[in-house]
Amino acid sequence: MDPARRASQVASALAEVRARLDRACDDAGRDRADVQLLPVTKFFPASDAAILYGLGCREFGESREQEATAKVAELADLLASAGTGEGADAVRWHMIGSLQRNKARAVARWAHAIHSVDSVRLVDALSRAASAALAEGERPEPLRVLLQVSLDGDPARGGVRGHELTELAARTEDADGLELAGLMAVPPLGADPERAFEALAGVHRDLLREHPRATALSAGMTGDLEAAVRYGSTCVRVGTALLGSRPITSY
């Protein structure tokens, strides 16, 4: 697609999503500043992230380490070439997909936050990786960790709940190089988003009693962001409504 046409397309989509989020916050009686819009750029090129950057976005979500590592570097090059304002130093990347422990070191070099932590072994791997990255000057601050909550108990979909979540939160809180930021969840396939997010809000309230600084709640995507906002989401992860549904699989 012609770059100018693509930029216009993305700008229009972003305006529509921002308007949706404004309405959702108004309807829920919430301050719009309390809910982050996280554009999800997975499967799309760094040029799309650069367009979003030009429209004021500074944080992006990715789900595959190899793709993200390449895209982080490419966006930095694009912004440097364009001489764009703050450049790549102003960008924060979020890992929102499942992560294997052997990828922890790579992710710790570029991720501001990871939204999908669901095992003690992954916490330990991320702690080692983030601590090393801090010591080597590869990152300026601890890695923010959001624990993935299972809303249906299906291990194939990832996430934990109950005593496992309690233990994982305590382990993360004590881990070097990490900051326990909050929770993330995705409603089960076919589930009523209202009921799913209501349940998640209850889990989050329980967490906050023991970990009052873990205020982040990453919930809601293109199809259900309004319901997520009603039940306290502080971060909606939106990809399709911004960039379309056609994946680019060149990575």
- Residues 6 or more apart in contact with residue 136 via CB below 8 angstroms: none
d(CA 198, CA 190): 16
Closest CA to 35 of 228, 247, 194, 184: 228
Q: CA 170 to CA 184: how far, in whole Å?
A: 16
Res 158: pLDDT: 82
Residue (of 104, 122, 38, 21) closest to 65 by Cα position? 104
Q: What residues does 113 pair with on adjacent strands?
A: 94, 144
Q: Quote the pLDDT of residue 247.
A: 62
Per-residue pLDDT at 87: 78
Q: In the chain, which stretches have pLDDT less than 50?
A: 248, 250-251
136-156 tens-digit pLDDT: 999 999 999 999 999 987 776
pLDDT single digits (tens) 55-90: 999 999 999 999 999 999 999 999 999 887 677 889
- Two structure tokens written together for 19: 């308007």
pTM of the model: 0.94
The pLDDT of residue 250: 46
Q: Which residue has the tokens 């046409």?
A: 5
Q: Is 202 helix (H, G, I), strand (E, B) or coil?
A: helix
